[in-house]
A and B are shown apart, each in its own frame.
Chain A
Amino acid sequence: MNGDVGHAAVALSLVAALAGIVTLAAGLLGRRPGLLRRARVYVWLALGGMLVAAAAMEHALVTHDFSLAFVAANNSRQTPLLYSVTGMWSALQGSILLWSLILSGYVAVMSHVFRRRATDPVVAWALLVGLAVSLFFFALMLGPSDPFAATAGRPPADGSGPNPLLQDNLLVAFHPVFLYLGFVGFSVPFAFAIAGLVTGRVGEEWLAPTRRFAVFAWAMLTVGIVLGAWWSYQELGWGGFWGWDPVENAALLPWLTATAYLHSALVQERRGLLRVWNVSLLVATFSLTILGTFLTRSGVLQSVHAFTSGPAVGPALIGLFAASVAAGVGLIGWRGDRLRGPGRIDSPVSREGAFLVNNLLFAAFAAVVLLGTVFPLFAAALENQSLSVGRPYFDAFGAPIGIALLFFMSVAPVLPWRKAAPGLLRRRLAVPAWVAAAVLAACVAGGVRGLTPLAAFGLGAFAASVAARQLIAAALASRRHGLGVWRGLLGRANGGMVVHIGIVVIAVGLTAATSFAHSTEARFRPGGTFRFDGHRLTFVGWRRVSKPSEVGASAVFEVDGARFAPGIARFNGNLEGTAIPAVDSSLVDDVYLSIGQAPAAPRPGDGVTLDVYVQPLVMWLWVGGALAAAGGLLSALPGRRRRPTHPVSVPIPELLGEPALAPPAGSPPSPVPQVPVGTPT
């Protein structure tokens, strides 16, 4: 039953997408605006089909309908309700369904937001591109990756249940959803970029309206990545949160190009420059999400995240990747003459100059990560050499690029557009630079050694105090305009500064946790005590755990007086035990306990071998992630409103007659009166 409903719903979406594409194409080629308006119906029909399909899948999972092969493989009668629900994205076919659902949602929101411009060829083309990408995924679900395929033979009495790692932690309910909201969200700006190229309207008109989609998708992707790191930290038992695994790299790559885009798009909006570059970044971001899915889901690269070996979707995904890259490159080449920017960069010491360097660094970082991820493939194919590219490689390039980014993060926010007046940097950066020097001195006095951590902490303080300076100035300015101080947090620039602070917090936590971690393996008898890195650990005894879906035992420890119980669990009768770590977290450091060796069925007198990891500032990663996401959402909200009829600057004579015009807070009087230019919406 569920299978039939699901198949019918996917088929409905497929037909709707096809009909929408045909209608839009007919309307565009035949110049019939009526058809363009009518295409909206098909967008909503496609979304409706996906909603029904997802509901059918959830219904099948929750009611343990093992007549579906997917349910039989990823669910069992003992699976708790929550993990039945999350079972939808615990394997490939269901993940494609989630991807398609989110994509249909984005396309529907896009068509709703631009409903008054439905007859505009740019909007119509963008919808067409969105529907074409949707069509690909719908076809995938009716072809090689069918989530509603029936179980071969008679349905089993019980299913095999999700992977043990996927039914132990609440984060599996959130991490994939946020990640996909991020990945798929970039389809909207991508669709508009392609539409702009096709119609030849390659100016700035599509940038501002799709900015909110890009910022929202970026914030979701950031949350998804941070939650993924948090999940692997709590679940995988080796005390780490980032392993440069291909799946992690696949999520990081679009994040890097998207971050570059969010900055360089500002240069285009303000100055009309970097048009080719921006379109290329959007094409790259979209293509990299597809390439990442291909690399990790086709079995080409081995990954700890490939929880199940799914069906062969590799050729289809690499086809979509090739098509999007070819479309992007071909269209950019075709429209090359129109893409030339009207202006040029006046001075390297300007906001746009700093953004250029920022983009160079992000692009270089992405190139390094991409090369390191796929290099083993090429080495194996071309030189018949098997090699591993791991942490030493990524750290060797990542650390200097990260430090350079922190430096430009400190300087760029205070730089004006076009050209900085002499002495301006000296004035605006004075206080933040001394704050940074004080933090650096405190670190050295506190015993921090090593160039990389010291540079990261010092520059982190620099970047954070610059961001704080900008926020304070914005808050004072909005109060001067008779608005609430909180208004200083809204808008793109100010929200961006909150993001900067969040990124700095992450960078500091990352540096501290990787540079100053200590770990050991300790053997305990019951009642035994062990001191490690300033913490006191006592083994209290064993506790049996028996839930419907898991059996096992926990070893109860006292860490500095509080109790923690890392465990070993066996899920659904699996023989192999899974270690379930326990963490004593604080803002200063984390004590991470994971059982190394223990008897299969421990008796009260048995001992235990415990892996202990002490890492400073791990919690800063999660706090920083939350701050960055909050900043992203703040910058998607409109800032100080300006009436469209208001002139952007004060007329010249009036301005010259008023030398008493108050300069913005934080900058001393300068020879030319400063025109308060608000954030354009």
Chain B
Amino acid sequence: MHGLLARRSSWLVLGALVVALLSFGSVHPPPESRAARVQALESIIKCPVCNDVSIAQSDAAVARALRAKVVELVDSGRSNAEIERYVVGQFGPSELLRPQNPLVWLLPAALLGVATAGLAVVLIRRRRLRAVAAGLPEDEALVAAALARRSAEARS
């Protein structure tokens, strides 16, 4: 059983199965409910009188009023972008917890890219260097002799 699972063909089947499951599970999302939309909006709007917490997290009266406003705007058919614009217009750009400065998004992405490229270069170059440095002839002779002895014993 274990041998069967370890075969290359079994792994191909497994890979296909996982891809199929993941794509089915992510392509057919349930329609976004009104409650989920309201919740998503509430979690990115900062409570105007608090420190760093969203209106979904805050108990303050302003946050409560803003939550009601979000529900009202969603029910009147406004899009998420329109609601975000409304909030920024009322309270300024720091009102959205999703930072509006492109730098804060680009910097980590660039950093990650550079680090990944660096790691790849290190691993590939080290591999190439190793390929050049062959083992000493004495070592290779020792290994060959040992392997020969072993296979002779196995045959006997």
Say if A and B assemble together. Answer: yes
The interface of chain A, by Cβ under 8 A from chain B, is: 236-238, 240, 243-246, 302-304, 344-348, 353, 356-357, 360, 363-364, 367-368, 371-372, 375-376, 379, 383, 385-393, 396-397, 423, 426-427, 430-431, 433-434, 437, 440-441, 443-444, 448-451, 454-455, 458, 517-520, 579, 596-597, 652, 656-657, 659, 668
**A389–B53 CB distance below 8 A:** no
Q: How far is the CB of B145 from chain A (nearest CB, A)?
A: 10
Does chain A have a CB within 8 A of B104?
yes
Q: How far is the CB of A211 from chain B (nearest CB, A)?
A: 25
A440/B18 contact (C-beta < 8 A), A379-B101, A426-B11 known = yes
Does chain A have a CB within 8 A of B75?
no
Option from B56, B58, B108 in Cβ contact (under 8 Å) with A397: B108
A437/B21 contact (C-beta < 8 A), A364-B108, A430-B6 known = yes
Option from B6, B96, B98 in Cβ contact (under 8 Å) with A426: B6
18 A-B pairs in the complex with CB atoms less than 8 angstroms apart: A245-B51, A302-B51, A304-B51, A344-B126, A360-B116, A368-B108, A371-B107, A387-B104, A388-B52, A389-B97, A390-B44, A390-B99, A397-B108, A426-B7, A430-B10, A454-B22, A596-B64, A656-B146
Option from A347, A383, A427, A449 in Cβ contact (under 8 Å) with B6: A427
Cα–Cα, bound, A58→B111 (Å):
48
**A449–B97 CB distance below 8 A:** no
**A392–B97 CB distance below 8 A:** yes
The interface of chain B, by Cβ under 8 A from chain A, is: 2-3, 5-8, 10-11, 14, 17-18, 21-22, 24-26, 28-30, 35, 39, 43-44, 46, 50-54, 56-59, 64, 92-101, 103-105, 107-108, 111-112, 115-116, 119, 122-123, 126-127, 129-130, 146, 149-150, 153-154
CB-CB nearest in chain B for A303: B51
Cα–Cα, bound, A94→B28 (Å):
55
Q: How far is the CB of A36 from chain B (nearest CB, A)?
A: 41
**A434–B14 CB distance below 8 A:** yes
**B54–A430 CB distance below 8 A:** no
Q: How far is the CB of B117 from chain A (nearest CB, A)?
A: 11
Cα–Cα, bound, A518→B56 (Å):
12
**B104–A371 CB distance below 8 A:** yes
**B94–A347 CB distance below 8 A:** no
List residues of chain A with CB within 8 A of the CB of B107.
Answer: 371
List residues of chain A with CB within 8 A of the CB of B59.
Answer: 237-238, 579, 596
List residues of chain B with CB within 8 A of the CB of A376.
Answer: 94
Option from A389, A451, A668 in Cβ contact (under 8 Å) with B104: A389
In order of increasing CB-CB distance, the 9 nearest A-B pairs are A390-B97, A302-B51, A451-B26, A392-B98, A430-B5, A238-B57, A386-B94, A430-B6, A427-B6
Cα–Cα, bound, A450→B25 (Å):
6
Cα–Cα, bound, A387→B44 (Å):
13
List residues of chain A with CB within 8 A of the CB of B150.
Answer: 656, 659
Contacts A389-B97, A434-B14, A659-B154 known; 4 new A-B pairs at CB < 8 A: A245-B51, A393-B99, A430-B5, A449-B29
CB-CB nearest in chain A for B43: A391
List residues of chain B with CB within 8 A of the CB of A597.
Answer: 64
List residues of chain A with CB within 8 A of the CB of B50.
Answer: 304
Cα–Cα, bound, A644→B101 (Å):
59
A385/B101 contact (C-beta < 8 A), A441-B21, A448-B25 known = yes
A386/B98 contact (C-beta < 8 A), A375-B104, A431-B5, A449-B29 known = no
Q: How far is the CB of B83 from chain A (nearest CB, A)?
A: 15
**Number of residue pairs A-B, CB distance < 8 angstroms:** 179
Q: How far is the CB of A418 from chain B (nearest CB, A)?
A: 11
Cα–Cα, bound, A538→B137 (Å):
84
Q: How far is the CB of A624 from chain B (nearest CB, A)?
A: 23
Cα–Cα, bound, A668→B2 (Å):
9
CB-CB nearest in chain B for A370: B108
CB-CB nearest in chain B for A385: B101
CB-CB nearest in chain A for B133: A344
Cα–Cα, bound, A375→B130 (Å):
43
CB-CB nearest in chain B for A246: B52
Q: How far is the CB of B100 from chain A (nearest CB, A)?
A: 6
**A303–B52 CB distance below 8 A:** yes
Option from A304, A396, A423, A652 in Cβ contact (under 8 Å) with B52: A304
Cα–Cα, bound, A372→B127 (Å):
36
List residues of chain A with CB within 8 A of the CB of B64.
Answer: 596-597
A444/B53 contact (C-beta < 8 A), A375-B104, A387-B101 known = no
List residues of chain A with CB within 8 A of the CB of B39.
Answer: 517-519
CB-CB nearest in chain B for A433: B14
List residues of chain A with CB within 8 A of the CB of B7.
Answer: 426
Most chain A beta-carbon contacts within 10 A, residue among B10, B94, B105: B94
**A375–B99 CB distance below 8 A:** yes
List residues of chain B with CB within 8 A of the CB of A238.
Answer: 53, 56-59
Most chain A beta-carbon contacts within 10 A, residue among B21, B28, B29: B21
Option from A302, A364, A387, A579 in Cβ contact (under 8 Å) with B93: A387
A357/B119 contact (C-beta < 8 A), A440-B18, A450-B25, A518-B35 known = yes
CB-CB nearest in chain B for A397: B108
Cα–Cα, bound, A579→B59 (Å):
9
Q: How far is the CB of A639 from chain B (nearest CB, A)?
A: 27
A243/B115 contact (C-beta < 8 A), A437-B14, A440-B21, A519-B39 known = no
**B24–A444 CB distance below 8 A:** yes
